[in-house]
A and B are shown apart, each in its own frame.
Chain A
Amino acid sequence: MSLLLPALVVFLLLNLVAGLWRVFLGPTAADRMLSALLFGSTTVAMLLVLAQWQQSPALRIAALLFVMLAAITSIAFVALTQGRVAARRAPAPPVEPRQ
């Protein structure tokens, strides 16, 4: 049991590393944003496991803050994509060519 929680943290961290590949690759902004949101969930899971493992209940509040505020970045992102539909003088779509 004492090994289960740290093993879970390592597993979740490796998940994060694997997901980073998607952020790096893209190709669209939406792909990158979605993986960032997924990282948010993974971080919450890791904070909860760490709270239990390190006997530090305050980390659950940090996890709560992440959950509560995760939507704000995505609303800002949606504003980016809607801007080009709604406004005439709006910027180019946030879809980037592969470099």
Chain B
Amino acid sequence: MNLLIDVLIAIGLVVLAWQALVGGSLFRGIVMFIVFGLTMALAWARLGSPDLAMAEAAIGAGVTGALLMIAYWRLRALGASRPTPRSRLRARLALGVGVLSSVLVAMIGLAAVEAIGPGGEAGQALAAALPATGLGNPITGVLVIFRNLDTLLEVAVLLAAYVASRAALGDDKAALPLPPAQDAPLVGALVAVLAPLTVLVAIYLLKAGSQLPGGAFQAGAVLAAGGVLLMLAGRLHPAPLCGLGLRIALVAGTVVFSGVGIIMLALGQPLLAVPGTWAVYLIETAMMVSIGATLVLLFAGSAGLSGKALR
């Protein structure tokens, strides 16, 4: 029975990925991608990774679905309703690159399978070192304490993505067009309930993340989902300038994380050492704020946000 479930999920994922990418109808591809996200959450659940199932839920249901829908709307609004005809040469090149990439991925996968010996030494070392940190969730331990350079770089990559999107969109356009705001009574009632709830759930996920599955990434994604909801309902609007508060929110994760690490270096500890559980919470809170702000701004496609409409 277990095998049947896993095989069904695996086949479903491959078929959904193929259907999301294959041509035909653009909207069908978007819906297939949304369903792919749902199935991916099930796959993580089966693999015993509730943390990743949560992240998939928050990102997939809260941000990507709406982002793709709005991108579809923008494509049509900008008059790109017909996809450009494909060139045969490009298709052949893509096939070659695709095959080479698959071979590379397969080789890395094989190497990874062979590299991990029975028992997993890193896992044992983690289990031995975790109680001393006061954390109960091994994933938070790895992300914030044991392998925190990787996490710091991930937060920096998000910041870089925002800067790159600003560079790509340029300053001439204040913001990409958004569909007219939904101000139906039902949407207003939903926002009144859901927007405070996203903040509450984000703080819960952050707090729970030290002992149970959860953490800054999931919490930040939930916060971002709240921001996306406010934008769709017309309570938040894209703005041409990034306010001071938003600037602080954007860099908070990178600055606080590296700041704590550098202060520890000055105190004679190794670089990026984390002094205690309070520092873990401090870093995770800053990361949550940065992740939420960056995702909302990437969704808006604008430099900043404001409560008032531009036009």
Contacts and interface: CB of A to CB of B under 8 A. Distances in A.
Interface in A50-79: 50-51, 54, 56, 58-59, 61-66, 68-73, 75-79
Interface in B20-59: 24-25, 27-28, 31-32, 34-35, 38-39, 41-42, 45-46, 48, 50-51, 53-54, 56-58
Contact of A75 (B32, B45, B56, B182): B182
Interface string B156-191: 000000000000000000000001111000010010
The contact size tier of chain B is 35 or more
A47 B53 contact: yes
- Chain A: number of interface residues, binned into ranges: 35 or more
A73 B190 contact: no
A28 B25 CA distance: 11
**Prevailing SS type, chain B contact patch:** helix
A6 B54 contact: no
Contact of B61 (A59, A61, A70, A78): A70
B310 to A, nearest CB: 15
Given A10-B1, A65-B201, A72-B228, A32 B28 contact: yes
Interface string A13-45: 110110010011010010011011001100100
A62 B12 contact: no
A72 B225 contact: yes
Interface in B54-86: 54, 56-58, 61-62, 65-66, 69-70, 72-73, 76-77, 81
B246 interface: no
A86 B66 CA distance: 19
B115 interface: no
